[in-house]
């Protein structure tokens, strides 16, 4: 009996792809149900104001319009928008599904039109007359905290939604003892996650069985099911949520939104299926944004450049309401504030602020990119103050390999790491000395050239569940169910909800290896709450770490029973049965059984096995004992055109450690995508509102997306320090790229601008901004070029 | 008011009465059931809706169906069969040129139009040719690899 080649660790082509490359996958907007109606939202043109009148007469008169609903129709029946994280002392106001008298951001849904045709629905939405007595809006989060600022919620008397405070007893002493201190004001601008498929929902209330089915483009179908049930006040047994093909999420599709709760209500009311797919402008205006932190960070350091303590104050934009997990995001910034460094004390305070803007929530990295950006800027600034090399400063500050598990002063426990090995590998691969020489030659020729570095760690594999908000009735574990068919083929049902990550392939590799079966004998099912055992979802780099571990655990349970069955068939005891890749044997005998033999016996039950039930299946849930801490080192080189401010990334190297890898091809994809997304924030992306709260970046004409020609070929390498916290040794990979690449690029640009005496720049690094900085610096130095 | 059009869709003549304001992408998706062509921005800036009109790559979100009257339209569904994938489809599969897959049909249509004009594009030419197509997942590098893979296969007549 031949042992199959091991699949884990191999570059195996994705099983998802054939349907995707042929255009035959079914995304939510591709669904067409009999009698389906189309919804279109009327959204507020103003950021702040009181609704005086909503007149739908003209809209209702259009042929094909079925209904127009406003808050008055919903009152007491459905809502509010799901919010799972309410911090202690947080000023929280329920956010209605449609505006209740007040509008608080431009793009807020005010009314919804339902029509037989999509075009008519849009015509009718435009024909609804909404009269709003607009008032002064507050957009700038710093100004929002000033006395007399316009208030988003009058009843609170302040725009301060919550204060998150994590003081450390040693901070003040270390600042007093320090050889030097510095202070930086750092803006981590608001950006839009922009999955290429916007949000979309089809809701179908089936009056016969009294059952609601909701197809929605989400990362968390089980959470959505609970939210819809709560919002409508019906049993969750009556709700089935299906996440069909999902065209990217990046955190934006973690929360459940008002539209996801409203469409089911409409469908139940009208007893017809109803669909809504957002436009890109709706996506940019009314799907959660990310980042939006303004931070003042102070660092105390000794004469050798060792950073002793950090004191941080962050103003975090909440937007106009608390999105489902919005309040959770800054807490990650606090936990990761010390980065991969031996900083002894960190005191951090965040003020979460309401403004008349769209809410913020998770965006790839969710609080950790902000932390990494802060501490990397500090490292560069310390190097500049002391005239030290930036890599040398990091080397002096990195946590030593023997220190794990490492207890950071923030309370985080870093599971494992070897930062030095990763740094040394990156230095060699990048050829740091040669890069410096090349940069200096370019400078000597009068060019602006720079080298960027970032050494970072992050928090992945969320859970554990401890501390999860009670209203959620959800932990941060993950589920897996494996059902073995009589032929030995296996269905894997995962509570994770992949939407591009490739887990239909990765999990099949794992299960195929566990049972010694072909990958085509494994089918991975996800994203259907009526089929899949209750699960959590895909976010926070947890798909493999938590979801994959649950799959592994379920496979082990099946192997344990299979072994007992095999023992019976082989006339031996369980202890004497050996199993390797699905081949069951017994010492001293040539008899072997395949996994298919055992699966068949488990189902035919020709020989009854005492104490066992027929069949072969298992459910497992993995509750992590802690988070994992992948890490990496990024280097890049840039040049800046003095005349135009145009920034060119010439080289970018990423050496990362994510522990063990199931499929290196998928891992490369996750890293490359994340790196470009992180560089997108550094280079060009920015959500902008004008002073009155009008969104200035409402299409791709104004919201600058990273495009193919903006980047060089990214160089990838790895080191491997398996995580001790899960049997796979995996650490999580989804968010890694966005955490290291952003500070790395800013580091390079500041290095390029250093000869001009420029020490600070905020993202995004658009040519116009760089050109102005260069011009000002040149004028200061007497106009010399 | 409806207008009669005749469009050759993926090699088959289709006669239809369309409301003049119907966008080509909606006609293909909703009336022809060809949902592989996606909508990503409605403003011709993302390329998810790219199809071929008389062999040229166009953004079907900013064309009316009536403008395709008398033309050949090719969509992703007309590119290859399960056991006979188009070399560009094969390239994307082999090189992991997709993740969520939403931009992929548009990328494949843009790529095949590029390769029809330039059988051996440089990396810079590939990146430039795909400027009108946004991908949020891959960071483009594996898409570039996919295009190079496809170009190689097509030159070798595979």
Tens digit of each residue's pLDDT (9 = 90 or more) over A581-618: 889 999 888 999 999 999 999 999 988 888 999 999 99
pLDDT reported for residue A581? 85
Residue in B closest to A17 by C-alpha = B93
ipTM above 0.95, yes or no: yes
The whole-angstrom distance between residue A137's C-alpha and the CA centroid of its chain comes to: 30
Cα–Cα distances in angstroms (integers) from residue A396 to residues A299, A305, A338, A404, A502, in the given order: 15, 7, 14, 17, 39
Q: Which residues of B touch A702 (CB under 8 A)?
A: none
Q: What is the dihedral of CA A429, A431, A435, A437, to 10 degrees?
A: -170
Find the mean pLDDT for residues A137-153: 98
Inter-chain touch B39–A29, beta carbons under 8 Å: yes
- Whether the Cβ atoms of residue B98 and residue B55 lie closer than 8 Å to each other: no
Please, what is the Cα angle at A221 between A218 and A223, to 5 degrees? 110
- Whether the Cβ atoms of residue A376 and residue A337 lie closer than 8 Å to each other: no
Span A444-502, pLDDT tens digits: 999 999 999 999 999 998 878 875 544 556 788 999 999 999 999 999 999 999 999 99
Inter-chain touch B102–A737, beta carbons under 8 Å: no
The whole-angstrom distance between residue A134's C-alpha and the CA centroid of its chain comes to: 35
Q: What is the pTM of this model?
A: 0.97
Name the residue among A22, A198, A246 with its Cβ closest to that of B89: A22
Chains A, B: CB contacts under 8 A, how many?
177
- Quote the minimal CA–CA distance from A719 to chain B in Å: 21
Average pLDDT, chain A: 96
Find the mean pLDDT for residues B118-123: 98
Inter-chain touch B26–A709, beta carbons under 8 Å: no
Rg (CA), chain A: 28
The whole-angstrom distance between residue A102's C-alpha and the CA centroid of its chain comes to: 31
On the question of pLDDT at A271 being above 80, the answer is yes
The whole-angstrom distance between residue A259's C-alpha and the CA centroid of its chain comes to: 21
Find the mean pLDDT for residues B91-102: 98
- Whether the Cβ atoms of residue A765 and residue A647 lie closer than 8 Å to each other: yes
Pairing of strands A406-407, A647-657: unpaired
Find the mean pLDDT for residues B79-103: 97
pLDDT reported for residue B100? 98
* Helix, strand, coil percentages in chain A from 3-state DSSP, rounded to 5: 35, 25, 40
CA-to-CA distance for A749 and A760, rounded, in angstroms? 10
Give which of B27, B21, B20 is closest to B3, Cα–Cα.
Answer: B20
Cα–Cα distances in angstroms (integers) from residue A276 to residues A22, A119, A770, in the given order: 25, 12, 41
- Quote the minimal CA–CA distance from A13 to chain B in Å: 6
Name the residue among A14, A197, A279 with its Cβ closest to that of B42: A279
For residue B84, give the DSSP letter: B
On the question of pLDDT at A784 being above 60, the answer is no
Pairing of strands A714-718, A647-657: parallel
Structure tokens at A280: 């890109």
B residues 106-125 closer than 8 Å to A (CB)? 108, 123-124
Span A356-385, pLDDT tens digits: 999 999 999 999 999 999 999 999 999 999
Find the mean pLDDT for residues A252-280: 98
- Quote the minimal CA–CA distance from B100 to chain A in Å: 4
Span A754-783, pLDDT tens digits: 999 999 999 999 999 999 999 999 998 875
Which three-class secondary structure state does DSSP give residue A307? strand
Structure tokens at A756: 């001009």
Q: Which residues of B touch A194 (CB under 8 A)?
A: 136
CA-to-CA distance for B26 and B32, rounded, in angstroms? 9
Pairing of strands A413-414, A290-301: unpaired
pLDDT reported for residue A448? 98
For residue A547, give the DSSP letter: I
Give which of A250, A257, A278, A256 is closest to A194, Cα–Cα.
Answer: A250
pLDDT reported for residue A473? 65
Question: What percent of chain A has pLDDT above 70?
Answer: 98
B residues 12-41 closer than 8 Å to A (CB)? 19, 21-22, 26, 29-30, 34-41
Name the residue among B35, B130, B134 with its Cβ closest to that of A705: B134
Span A636-690, pLDDT tens digits: 999 999 999 999 999 999 999 999 999 999 999 999 999 999 999 999 999 999 9
Span A199-212, pLDDT tens digits: 999 999 999 999 99
Structure tokens at A233: 């006040």
Span B9-68, pLDDT tens digits: 999 999 999 999 999 999 999 999 999 999 999 999 999 999 999 999 999 999 999 999
pLDDT reported for residue A731? 96
The whole-angstrom distance between residue B1's C-alpha and the CA centroid of its chain comes to: 30
Find the mean pLDDT for residues B103-122: 98
- Quote the minimal CA–CA distance from A243 to chain B in Å: 13
Find the mean pLDDT for residues A319-342: 96
- Quote the minimal CA–CA distance from A42 to chain B in Å: 18
Span A160-197, pLDDT tens digits: 999 999 999 999 999 999 999 999 999 999 999 999 99
On the question of pLDDT at A233 being above 50, the answer is yes
pLDDT reported for residue B127? 98
Residues paired with A578 in a beta bridge: A585
Span A726-744, pLDDT tens digits: 999 999 999 999 999 999 9
pLDDT reported for residue A785? 47
Name the residue among A247, A665, A705 with its Cβ closest to that of B100: A247
């Amino acid at each position: 009996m031949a042992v199959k080649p091991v699949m884990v660790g191999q570059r195996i082509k994705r099983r998802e792809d054939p349907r995707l490359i042929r255009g035959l996958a079914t995304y939510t907007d591709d669904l067409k149900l009999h009698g389906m109606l189309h919804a279109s939202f009327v959204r507020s043109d103003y950021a702040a104001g009181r609704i005086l009148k909503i007149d739908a007469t003209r809209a209702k008169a259009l042929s094909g319009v079925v209904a127009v609903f406003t808050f008055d129709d919903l009152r007491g029946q459905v809502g509010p928008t799901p919010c799972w994280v309410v911090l202690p002392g947080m000023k929280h106001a329920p956010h209605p599904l449609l505006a209740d008298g007040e509008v608080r951001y431009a793009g807020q849904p005010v009314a919804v039109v339902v029509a037989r045709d999509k075009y008519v629905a849009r015509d009718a939405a435009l024909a609804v007359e909404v009269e709003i007595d607009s008032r002064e809006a507050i957009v700038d989060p710093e100004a929002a905290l000033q006395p007399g600022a316009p208030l988003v919620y009058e009843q609170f008397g302040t725009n301060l939604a919550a204060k998150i405070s994590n003081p450390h007893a040693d901070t003040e002493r270390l600042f007093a003892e320090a050889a030097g201190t510095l202070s930086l004001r750092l803006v981590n601008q608001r950006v839009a996650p922009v999955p290429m498929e916007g949000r979309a929902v089809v809701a179908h209330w089936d009056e016969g069985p009294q059952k609601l089915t909701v197809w929605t483009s989400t990362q968390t179908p089980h959470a959505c099911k609970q939210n819809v049930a709560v919002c409508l006040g019906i049993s969750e047994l009556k709700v089935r949520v299906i996440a069909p093909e999902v065209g990217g999420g990046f955190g934006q599709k973690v929360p459940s939104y008002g539209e996801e709760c409203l469409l089911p209500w409409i469908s139940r009311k009208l007893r017809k299926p109803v669909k809504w797919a957002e436009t890109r402008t709706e996506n940019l205006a009314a799907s959660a944004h990310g980042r939006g932190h303004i931070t003042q960070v102070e660092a105390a350091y000794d004469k050798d450049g060792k950073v002793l303590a950090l004191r941080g104050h962050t103003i975090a934009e909440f937007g106009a309401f608390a999105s489902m997990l919005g309040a959770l995001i800054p807490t990650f910034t606090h936990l990761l504030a010390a980065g991969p460094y031996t900083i002894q004390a960190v005191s951090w305070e965040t003020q979460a602020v309401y403004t008349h803007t769209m809410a913020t929530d998770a965006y790839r990295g969710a609080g950790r990119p902000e932390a990494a950006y802060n501490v990397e800027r500090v490292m560069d600034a310390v190097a500049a103050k002391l005239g030290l090399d930036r890599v040398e400063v990091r080397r002096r500050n990195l946590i030593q390999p023997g220190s794990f598990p490492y207890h950071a002063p923030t309370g985080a426990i870093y599971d494992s790491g070897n930062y030095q090995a990763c740094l040394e590998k990156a230095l060699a691969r990048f050829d740091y000395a040669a890069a410096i020489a090349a940069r200096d030659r370019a400078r000597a020729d009068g060019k602006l050239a720079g080298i960027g570095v970032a050494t970072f760690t992050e928090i992945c594999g969320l859970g554990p569940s401890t501390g999860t908000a009670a209203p959620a009735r959800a932990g941060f574990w993950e589920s897996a169910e494996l059902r073995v068919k009589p032929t030995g083929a296996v269905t894997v049902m995962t509570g994770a909800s992949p939407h591009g990550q490739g887990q239909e392939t990765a999990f099949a590799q794992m299960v195929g290896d566990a049972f010694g079966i072909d990958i085509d004998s494994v089918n991975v099912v996800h994203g259907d709450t009526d089929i899949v055992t209750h699960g959590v979802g895909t976010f926070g780099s947890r798909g493999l770490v938590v979801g994959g571990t649950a799959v592994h655990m379920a496979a082990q349970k099946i192997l344990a029973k299979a072994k007992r069955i095999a023992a019976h068939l082989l006339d031996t005891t369980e202890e004497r049965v050996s199993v390797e890749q699905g081949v069951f044997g017994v010492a001293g005998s040539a008899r072997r059984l395949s996994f298919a033999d055992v699966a068949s016996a488990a189902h035919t039950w020709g020989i009854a096995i005492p104490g066992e039930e027929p069949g072969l299946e298992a459910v497992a849930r993995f509750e992590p004992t802690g988070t994992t801490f992948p890490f990496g080192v990024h280097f890049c080189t840039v040049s800046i055109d003095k005349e135009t401010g145009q920034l060119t990334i010439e080289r970018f190297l990423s050496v990362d450690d994510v522990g063990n890898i199931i499929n290196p091809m998928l891992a490369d994809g996750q890293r490359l995508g994340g790196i470009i997304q992180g560089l997108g924030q550094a280079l060009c992306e920015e959500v902008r509102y004008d002073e009155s709260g009008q969104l200035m970046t409402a299409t791709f004409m104004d919201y600058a997306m990273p495009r193919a020609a903006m980047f060089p070929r990214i160089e990838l390498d790895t080191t491997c320090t398996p995580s001790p916290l899960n049997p796979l040794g995996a650490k999580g990979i989804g968010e890694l790229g966005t955490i290291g690449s952003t500070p790395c690029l800013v580091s390079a640009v500041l290095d390029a601008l250093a000869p001009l005496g420029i020490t600070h720049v905020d993202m995004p690094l658009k040519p116009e901004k760089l050109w102005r900085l260069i011009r000002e610096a040149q004028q200061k130095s007497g106009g010399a070029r | 008011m409806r207008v009669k059009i005749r469009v050759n869709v993926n090699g088959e003549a289709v006669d239809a009465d369309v409301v003049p304001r119907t966008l080509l992408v909606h006609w293909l998706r909703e009336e022809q059931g060809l949902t592989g062509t996606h909508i990503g921005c409605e403003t011709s800036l993302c390329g998810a809706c790219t199809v071929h009109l008389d062999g040229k790559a166009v953004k079907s979100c900013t064309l009316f169906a009536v403008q395709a009257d008398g033309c050949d339209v090719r969509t992703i569904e007309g590119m290859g069969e399960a056991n006979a994938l188009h070399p560009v489809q094969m390239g994307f599969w082999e090189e992991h040129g997709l993740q969520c897959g939403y931009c992929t049909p548009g990328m494949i249509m843009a790529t095949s139009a590029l390769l029809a004009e330039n059988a051996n594009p440089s990396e810079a030419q590939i990146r430039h040719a795909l400027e009108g197509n946004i991908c949020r997942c891959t960071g483009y590098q594996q898409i570039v690899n996919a295009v190079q893979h496809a170009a190689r296969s097509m030159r070798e007549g595979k």
